[in-house]
Chain A
Amino acid sequence: MRKPRLSDTVTTQELDGEVVVLDQASSRLFHLNGMAGLILFHCDGEHTETDIVESLRQTVEGADPKLLARDVAETLDFLEREKVVL
């Protein structure tokens, strides 16, 4: 089970619930919505993907667990592909 963590080259800023990510290695900026930002902030190298889903299930009231698991997996896939998380 993966335990994603933020890349060392990444800096984040939270603004009004959204998150902007700067990856200095690629000089790229990413604009994450609130949910993707929440997922990102769980990427500390300690939480597994399952932990993240469970944590969000408690945070996001009324969330469908299956949809939540799919959203977390897709978001982590994207962040890994873009090397924002390792």
Chain B
Amino acid sequence: MGEETFSRTFRLPGLSATVLTNDAAFAADCGNLFFAPAEPGDEPEVVYKASVDRRFLPTRRHALSVGPGFLQIVVVTAFYPALLPALEGDILRRLLSRERGFHPLRSGCVAYGGRGILVAGDFDSGRGPLVRALVDRGCEYLADALAPLTRPEHRILPFAKSIAVKRSHHPLASRARDGAPFRELDRTAIRYLPPPALAVEPRPVEIILFPRQDSSAPPEVVPLSRADALIRLMENSYHTEETASAAFADLSAVTAGARAFTVNIHGMKRTTDLIFGEALRS
């Protein structure tokens, strides 16, 4: 494998990281996928070294090993679908392992008319597709998987991560930019919506949605008590035993100032019609 002569440095709230690689296409992929580009003077806290060898097409094997101040990812396949989750997972672990002055939630976030809308839930709750659908209907994209909540103001910061949309099937595709993605096996069907600018004004949380996907039930948007919302937000909060009490206070303040709903996603158009009719009406 060759020398690592290509690099990308990213910024996100509270962390900057550099990827060094021997593969120009991989470096370009990183630029399309993740986080805001570095600004002059940014010093990366962590460097990922990705050595790509495209001769071993079907192997799909990679290893992530930690050295002093250095992480090395060795890739021995051209189609490296597991690499991005490994990279993303490590970045998130680093981000969450330290006090950064904000509270991270396992939640997407969009804004509509200046109002922050949390979409909180597991990856299989329909959170990501609902965030995309809300952006498609005019909401501003802030985050799709991790929403940083500022302290003590309890506002949502944008989290700079691009989102993938299918080129031919999704209306957002016309707003996306070309890229050479590696998250999906089908490298021709996906484009990426650029990440939100980190300079976006933090948004107050006014609406909290907890999506689920039950195809046997009709689409519905049901108001939730604030106490229920607090419990669900705690379930979607990244905190430790030591920080649980602070998280509890933060999220209590958020739920006290917001309206919360459970959303059953069944047909995205009908579901978002309901959200705009029930949750987003003034």
Contact = CB atoms under 8 A, between A and B. Distances in A.
B205 to A, nearest CB: 15
A55 B225 CA distance: 27
A20 B227 contact: yes
A63 interface: no
B241 interface: yes
B244 A31 contact: no
Quick one: which of B225, B227, B248, B256 has the most chain A CB within 10 A? B227
A61 interface: no
Contacts of A24: 241, 244-245
Nearest to B231: A29
A73 B143 CA distance: 47
Given A15-B255, A15-B256, A27-B241, A22 B227 contact: no
Contact of A20 (B230, B241, B245): B230
A27 B252 CA distance: 16
A31 to B, nearest CB: 5
Interface in A18-75: 18-20, 22, 24, 27, 29, 31
Contacts, number: 40
Contacts of A22: 234, 244-245, 248
Q: Is the interface of B mostly helix, strand, loop or mixed?
A: helix
Contacts of B256: 15
Among A22, A27, A31, residue most surrounded by chain B Cβ atoms (within 10 Å):
A22
A20 B252 contact: yes
Contact of A18 (B225, B244, B245): B225
Given A11-B248, A15-B225, A22-B234, 5 more contacts: A13-B248, A18-B225, A22-B245, A22-B248, A24-B245
Interface of A: 11, 13, 15-16, 18-20, 22, 24, 27, 29, 31
Interface of B: 225-228, 230-231, 234, 241, 244-245, 248-249, 252, 255-256
B248 A16 contact: no
A15 B252 contact: yes
Contacts of A13: 230, 248-249, 252
Contacts of A11: 245, 248-249
- The 8 closest A-B CB pairs, nearest first, are A15-B226, A18-B227, A13-B252, A22-B248, A15-B227, A20-B230, A20-B227, A16-B226
A86 B231 CA distance: 23
A29 B234 contact: yes
B248 A31 contact: no
A27 B227 contact: no
Nearest to A29: B231
A20 B254 CA distance: 14
A13 B252 CA distance: 7
Contacts of A16: 225-227
Contacts of A20: 227, 230-231, 248, 252
8 contacts: A13-B252, A15-B225, A15-B255, A19-B227, A20-B248, A27-B241, A27-B244, A29-B234
A4 B244 CA distance: 24
A11 to B, nearest CB: 5
